[in-house]
Amino acid sequence: MRKADGRVLSQTKSAAVNPLKSSQPLGAAFAFLGVDGAMPLFHGSQGCTSFALVLFVRHFKETIPLQTTAMDEVATILGGADHLEEAILNLKTRTKPKLIGVCTTALVETRGEDCASDIATIKLKRAEELAGTEVVLANTPDFDGAIEEGWAKAVTSMIEGITRPGARARKPKKKEKKKIAILPGWNLTVADIEHLREMVEAFGLEPVILPDVSGSLDGTVPDRWVPTTYGGTHVEDIRGLGTAVQCIAVGEHMRRPAEVLHRLTGVPYVLFQSLTGLKSVDRFVSLLTVISGAAVPAKVRRRRAQLQDALLDGHFHFGGKKIAIAAEPDQLYQLATFFTGMGSEIAAAVTTTDASKILEKVPAESVQIGDLGDLERLAAGADLLVTHSHGRQAAERLGIPLMRVGFPVFDRLGSQHKLTILYQGTRDLIFEVANIFQANQHAPTPEALDPFRNREMPDELRSSPLARH
Amino acid sequence: MSSLNAKIQHVFNEPACEKNQGKDVKARKKGCSKPLTPGAAAGGCAFDGAKIVLQPITDVAHLIHAPLACEGNSWDNRGTASSGPTLWRTSFTTDLTELDVVMGQGERKLFKAIREIKEAYAPPAIFVYSTCVTALIGDDIEAVCKRATEKFGLPVVPINAPGFVGSKNLGNKLAGEALLDHVIGTVEPDDAGPYDINILGEFNLSGEFWLVKPLLDRLGIRVRACIPGDARYLDIASAHRARAAMMVCSTALINLARKMEERWNIPFFEGSFYGITDTSEALRQIAGLLVKKGADPELLERTEALIAEEEAIAWKKLAAYRPRLQGKRVLLNTGGVKSWSLVHALMEIGIEIVGTSVKKSTVEDKERVKQILKDENHMFEQMAPRELYAMLSEHKAAIMLSGGRTQFIALKAKIPWLDINQERQHPYAGYDGMVELVRQIDLAIHNPIWRQVREPAPWDCYPAVKDELPSTKSGTATVHAFKKFAGTTADDFGEC
């Protein structure tokens, strides 16, 4: 394991207690789900798919297209290429997808299967049958990475496999809108993507978003049965990403796909590590004005003013609060900078893997690579736990309120429709957190305020005894 | 792995399984699980099945020896309830990294993990589950468990059911085998008595066994072990001293029931706590078996008295629903024993069954359903999502009862749905549970949202009134049509 620097503490336990991670292939499937007419396919035993499927369904409350190559004992010993081929052909005839996104699992990766060459062979041999369906591969063993890595690998594989390479003429014809390629990280919700699109369109630009979960996982009711995703990025648009004038990547984990797009097509990219918080959004909006040459629309100015007001009203509730966060690296950065930007302090920061450069910038004393067991240990004395729904047990035991973020959120409705980015999302986050604090305030008691009692405890161990907003 | 193979062959050759006995030698050797179709398979693996059966044992630490996905993607997802210990809800996994796999450090990490759990949680036992990758790299979990048992002085039990060996159902059975090999009979109880029974295959979902246990308490019958619902390790270790057993989930633990009969002379019957007559029949059978094994025959009379009393109360409560539910059509899409017992119960109050899945049912189950439904056409092995959606959107059923997997097929077809599988929120066992189930069906069917979601938007109802502005006079939300009526077509199904 790589040690980023002294602040990133690697895991030393042998038994992970209450995992924080969801698996890497799940992250890849998640990204494929943001493409129209897609069918993610796990190359592994049927349980791998079943577990991921159930978890997706619990989170989204939607039917999720996800299939398996159903490796059995014989395939485990002799190799899974035949299963892979059969699965791809079966999916093609039964569901007619526009995209099959193959995600490997620990089982086939431990066997050391060369899935890339398997797929190349299948595509060659079955070219006729597979016409009209793209097949791409993400190498995503479960023993490495988590959602972030899986998501980024899937996006990279789609760009490498589908996007037409070569520099294109990017000067739009008259009356044609300038195209912007947007590569959002997995931590952006359906509402975030919708909002991001509206913001870009407000500047007269045409956004092409990959992946676009707002089209496929937003919970609409179609009037017929569709076995694949319905809605999301169109394969044709992925093919034409090279015609964008600019690429905007959101989250450090999207750097690699953005680089690959740049290498293949010459489209330049700008990376925003977070789109939450006034400063980052200002930078983003400035970029849009530069690209479009348009002035900032009145409604965007209005949203900014609303955020300023929310900062003023909200900061009373945040100042001095100790926050314990467990999240994937980019989301950890997004939330930690949000909280410190409001005057809170990050008392515990736990994350999934140590591969991301963003961890060096997380505003916390240290970042623990670990699980919810670590969060529970480090969070004693904190005012707020911030993690996904699995944190509920720790929150109960510690008696600390839990703010649910990320994936999975299975015990609250509407997590996909929560806005977390740009002026409006930052404003909403402020309100959400301030409301949690107000709902959980402690009434003053003589014991808690007794000056002599409090003197026995060193100041830094005290969770703001006088704060009772 | 050869011993695991032998075990699987052995489990497939289950003499107490009627379905199995109908097969010839060759078919039997092939096992009960049909080969899976890549790209068209659904359902869990053997590891999933093993964990489902064992994880509800509440005071045991369940340690999954695997890379992240096996446990990380699946923990804290079942609705079984505990009356005390909560350790079963804490998730433990060795979370193998690439380095662990490449360097062959799996066994050492597992041993250290066992030590950490013992030191931090001091559980009465630790169950260690093997999985695809750890089986593939040849980690010998039985050896590690044996060593750890000696070293740490607590039972460390290997559960050898890696995912690739087969289906969830096979995993259920392998879990039963693990209990037989390592747990049951290892502790002698000092309080065995003539009224002790075991309940096998009861998961205590939403605490529903607690709707039944008081009935047994009232009769002076003691549940020595309920496996696995709300079980403690010691209950199971001393389960071999029960006098009789009831097997609740017919296919999951049949090997366990039969072998306990063979080894410890514990007779069993297959029954169900779903439905009124089934609950009564179960109580009757329990009492009958206990008396046969030497309990005072007056138990039979007391049982009949209790049944008469409880049935009368339940029927009275149910009668209230008859006018609201009579003639309502229900589609049951669930496997195994739940089908026939529920079918019977619902028909008792005038509900019409328009179809039931018999995918997981035995030949005998199917025969029972056939007798009750009087029409074979209502039984189906399994239905493709598209067919199911078509059937529902044509309003051939007023409600579907199924598991979470098919939930959204019903909801997207705008048809009421009720969860009767493991993630459900309500207890349905026993007399009160049946009343609760009918109440939930009533609530679901009569919820006012159905009318709202089925009605098209007002501007889609009228023929086009082009370019007419919305009426602002009334101030209400009536917005007139801007575009032509775009009716939804029900026959527009994509291929599936």
Q: Do A55 and B74 touch (CB under 8 A)?
A: yes
Q: Which residue of A has its CA nearest to B384?
A: A227
Residue range B126-156, pLDDT digits in tens: 999 999 999 999 999 999 999 999 999 999 9
Minimal CA separation from A20 to chain B, in Å: 7
Chain A residues whose beta carbon lies within 8 Å of the beta carbon of residue B97: 1, 143-144
| A394 and A413, same domain (yes or no) | yes
Tell me which H or E stretch contains A402: strand A402-404
Residue B54: pLDDT over 90: yes
DSSP class per residue in B399-462: EEEE-GGGHHHHHHTT--EEE-STT-SS---HHHHHHHHHHHHHHHHT-THHHHHHSPPGGGTS
In a domain, A395, yes or no: yes
Helices B276-292, B337-347: crossing angle, 10 deg rounding: 120
Residue B34: pLDDT over 70: no
Chain B residues whose beta carbon lies within 8 Å of the beta carbon of residue A67: 39-41
Nearest to B92 among A15, A69, A73 (CB): A15
Q: Which residue of B has its CA nearest to A100?
A: B39
Over pLDDT 90: what percentage of chain A? 83
Nearest to B101 among A94, A110, A393 (CB): A110
Q: Do A141 and B67 touch (CB under 8 A)?
A: yes
Please tell me the distance from the alpha carbon of residue B248 to that of residue B431, in angstroms, as a whole number.
16
Tell me what pLDDT residue B471 has: 46
Residue in B122, B127, B38 with CA at minimum distance from that of residue B91: B127
Q: Which of B164, B383, B414, B455 to mutate to test the interface with A (most CBs of A within 10 A)?
A: B164
Which one of A240, A262, A297 terminates a domain?
A297
Mean pLDDT over residues A387-401, rounded? 96
Q: Do A47 and B48 touch (CB under 8 A)?
A: yes
Q: Do A144 and B98 touch (CB under 8 A)?
A: yes
Tell me what pLDDT residue B489 has: 28
Tell me what pLDDT residue A1 has: 43
Nearest to B39 among A72, A90, A221 (CB): A90
Q: Compute φ and ψ for B15, nearest 5 degrees.
A: -65, -25
Confidence of residue A258 (pLDDT cuts 50, 70, 90): very high
Chain B residues whose beta carbon lies within 8 Å of the beta carbon of residue A76: 132, 136, 164
| A413 and A448, same domain (yes or no) | yes
Minimal CA separation from B68 to chain A, in Å: 6
Nearest to A67 among B39, B74, B91 (CB): B39
Nearest to A107 among B99, B133, B408 (CB): B133
In a domain, A216, yes or no: yes
Nearest to B93 among A1, A19, A88 (CB): A19
Mean pLDDT over residues A11-28, rounded? 96
The residue ranking higher by pLDDT, B377 or B57, is B57
Helices A278-292, A190-201: crossing angle, 10 deg rounding: 40
In a domain, A411, yes or no: yes
Among A234-238, A316-320, B188-192, B401-405, the range scoring the smallest mean pLDDT is: B401-405
| A308 and A220, same domain (yes or no) | no
Mean pLDDT over residues B340-367, rounded? 75
Which one of A278, A297, A316 terminates a domain?
A297
Chain B residues whose beta carbon lies within 8 Å of the beta carbon of residue A391: none
Tell me which H or E stretch contains A207: strand A206-209
- Greatest alpha-carbon pair distance for chain B in Å reads 87
Residue B202: pLDDT over 50: yes
| A323 and A438, same domain (yes or no) | yes
Over pLDDT 70: what percentage of chain B? 83
Chains A & B: contacts with CB separation below 8 Å: 234
Kindly give, in sequence order, each residue whose CB lies less than 8 Å from that of residue A355, ignoring residues fewer than 6 positions away: A2, A145, A149
Residue A277: pLDDT over 70: yes
| A405 and A370, same domain (yes or no) | yes
Residue A137: pLDDT over 70: yes
Chain A residues whose beta carbon lies within 8 Å of the beta carbon of residue B386: 225, 227
Q: Compute φ and ψ for A133, nearest 5 degrees.
A: -125, 125
Q: Are strands A16-17 and B222-228 parallel, antiparallel or unpaired?
A: unpaired
Q: Is B204 left (phi over 0), alpha (psi -120 to 50) or beta?
A: left
Structure tokens, B314: 């339940």
The residue ranking higher by pLDDT, B371 or B225, is B225
Cα B223 to Cα B195, B210, B302, B309, distances in angstroms: 8, 12, 18, 22
Q: Do A225 and B39 touch (CB under 8 A)?
A: no
Mean pLDDT over residues A216-235, rounded? 86
In a domain, A398, yes or no: yes
Do the beta carbons of residue A414 and residue A294 sit within 8 Å?
no
Chain A residues whose beta carbon lies within 8 Å of the beta carbon of residue B70: 47-48, 51, 142
In a domain, A458, yes or no: no
Residue B250: pLDDT over 80: no
Tell me what pLDDT residue B483 has: 30
Do the beta carbons of residue A145 and residue A355 sit within 8 Å?
yes
DSSP class per residue in A337-398: HHHHHTT-EEEEEEES-S--GGGGG-SSS-EEE--HHHHHHHTTT-SEEEE-GGGHHHHHHH
In a domain, A263, yes or no: yes
Kindly give, in sequence order, each residue whose CB lies less than 8 Å from that of residue A4, ignoring residues fewer than 6 positions away: A354, A357, A359, A360
| A384 and A256, same domain (yes or no) | no
Tell me what pLDDT residue B481 has: 31
Tell me what pLDDT residue A308 has: 97
Q: Do A226 and B112 touch (CB under 8 A)?
A: no
Q: Which residue of A has its CA nearest to B409?
A: A63
Please tell me the distance from the alpha carbon of residue B166 to that of residue B7, in angstroms, as a whole number.
13
| A443 and A314, same domain (yes or no) | yes
Kindly give, in sequence order, each residue whose CB lies less than 8 Å from that of residue A261, ignoring residues fewer than 6 positions away: A159, A163, A181, A183, A241, A242, A247, A267, A269
| A415 and A307, same domain (yes or no) | yes
Among A225-234, A389-398, A460-469, B287-296, the range scoring the smallest mean pLDDT is: A460-469
| A380 and A421, same domain (yes or no) | yes
Nearest to B73 among A26, A90, A371 (CB): A26
Residue B286: pLDDT over 80: yes
Minimal CA separation from A294 to chain B, in Å: 32
Q: Which residue of A has its CA nearest to B118?
A: A15
Mean pLDDT over residues A447-462, rounded? 67
CA angle A344, A398, A10 (to 5 degrees): 70
For residue A384, what are the β-bridge partners?
A323
Among A127-136, B289-298, B470-479, the range scoring the smallest mean pLDDT is: B470-479
Tell me which H or E stretch contains A438: helix A422-439
Minimal CA separation from A221 to chain B, in Å: 6
Minimal CA separation from A38 to chain B, in Å: 13
Q: Which of A46, A48, A353, A402 to mutate to test the interface with B (most CBs of B within 10 A)?
A: A46
Among A137-141, A273-277, B272-276, B331-335, the range scoring the smallest mean pLDDT is: B331-335
Structure tokens, B368: 């029972």
Q: Do B47 and A23 touch (CB under 8 A)?
A: no
Q: What residues make up the domain containing A246?
A: 179-297
Look up the CATH number of the domain holding residue A313.
3.40.50.1980
Judged by DSSP in three states, A247 sits in strand
Q: To the nearest whole number, what is the mean pLDDT of chain A?
A: 92
Q: Which residue of B has its CA nearest to A110?
A: B133
Nearest to B38 among A16, A86, A110 (CB): A86
| A32 and A152, same domain (yes or no) | yes
In a domain, A60, yes or no: yes
What type of residue is A327? A
Nearest to A51 among B74, B99, B489 (CB): B74
Q: Compute φ and ψ for B489, nearest 5 degrees.
A: -105, 130
Residue B377: pLDDT over 50: yes
DSSP summary character for residue A68: E
| A367 and A414, same domain (yes or no) | yes
In a domain, A274, yes or no: yes
Which one of A98, A131, A162 terminates a domain?
A162
Domain tally, chain A: 3
Minimal CA separation from B242 to chain A, in Å: 35
Q: Distance between alpha carbon A91 and the CA centroid of its chain, in Å?
A: 27
Q: Do B409 and A225 touch (CB under 8 A)?
A: yes
Among A118-122, A395-399, B303-307, B345-349, the range scoring the smallest mean pLDDT is: B345-349
Tell me what pLDDT residue B485 has: 29
Residue A109: pLDDT over 50: yes
Minimal CA separation from A260 to chain B, in Å: 25
Do the beta carbons of residue B446 and residue B328 sit within 8 Å?
no
Tell me what pLDDT residue A445 has: 87
Q: To the nearest whole number, what is the mean pLDDT of chain B?
A: 85
Residue A221: pLDDT over 90: no
Tell me what pLDDT residue B476 has: 37
Kindly report the number of other CB atoms within 10 A of residue B377's CB atom.
8
Please tell me the distance from the alpha carbon of residue B423 to that of residue B417, in angstroms, as a whole number.
13
Q: Which residue of A has its CA nearest to B164?
A: A72
Do the beta carbons of residue B177 and residue B53 sit within 8 Å?
no
Confidence of residue B423 (pLDDT cuts 50, 70, 90): low
Tell me what pLDDT residue B36 has: 80
Confidence of residue B487 (pLDDT cuts 50, 70, 90): very low
Tell me what pLDDT residue B313 has: 95
Kindly report the number of other CB atoms within 10 A of residue A230's CB atom.
16
Most confident of the ranges A70-84, B77-91, B142-156, B236-250: B142-156
Structure tokens, B395: 């309003």
Residue A456: pLDDT over 90: no
Minimal CA separation from B80 to chain A, in Å: 15
pTM reported for the whole predicted model: 0.89
Domains of chain B from N-terminus onward: 33-182 (3.40.50.1980), 196-313 (3.40.50.12380), 320-424 (3.40.50.12380), 456-496 (no CATH)
Helices A147-162, A255-265: crossing angle, 10 deg rounding: 10
Nearest to A87 among B39, B76, B113 (CB): B39
Mean pLDDT over residues A284-313, rounded? 96
Q: Which residue of B has its CA nearest to A62?
A: B408
Among B74-78, B373-377, B425-429, the range scoring the smallest mean pLDDT is: B373-377
Confidence of residue B492 (pLDDT cuts 50, 70, 90): very low
| A118 and A55, same domain (yes or no) | yes
Residue in B310, B268, B273, B307 with CA at minimum distance from that of residue B290: B268
Tell me what pLDDT residue B383 has: 75
Structure tokens, A249: 């990547």
Long-range residue pairs from B319-326, CB within 8 A, at least 24 positions apart, any chain: B319/B349, B321/B349, B321/B438, B321/B439, B321/B442, B322/B349, B322/B350, B324/B442, B324/B446, B325/B349, B325/B350, B325/B351, B325/B438, B325/B441, B325/B442, B325/B445, B326/B350, B326/B351
Mean pLDDT over residues B202-210, rounded? 92
Residue A14: pLDDT over 90: yes
Please tell me the distance from the alpha carbon of residue B229 to that of residue B208, in angstroms, as a whole number.
10
Please tell me the distance from the alpha carbon of residue A113 to that of residue A97, in angstroms, as a whole number.
25
Among A41-50, A361-370, B30-39, B346-355, the range scoring the smallest mean pLDDT is: B30-39
For residue A369, what are the β-bridge partners?
A351
Residue A105: pLDDT over 80: yes
Minimal CA separation from B298 to chain A, in Å: 47
Confidence of residue B13 (pLDDT cuts 50, 70, 90): confident
Minimal CA separation from B48 to chain A, in Å: 7
Among A144-158, A332-346, B31-45, B329-343, the range scoring the smallest mean pLDDT is: B329-343
Residue B407: pLDDT over 60: yes
Q: Distance between alpha carbon A48 and the CA centroid of its chain, in Å?
A: 20
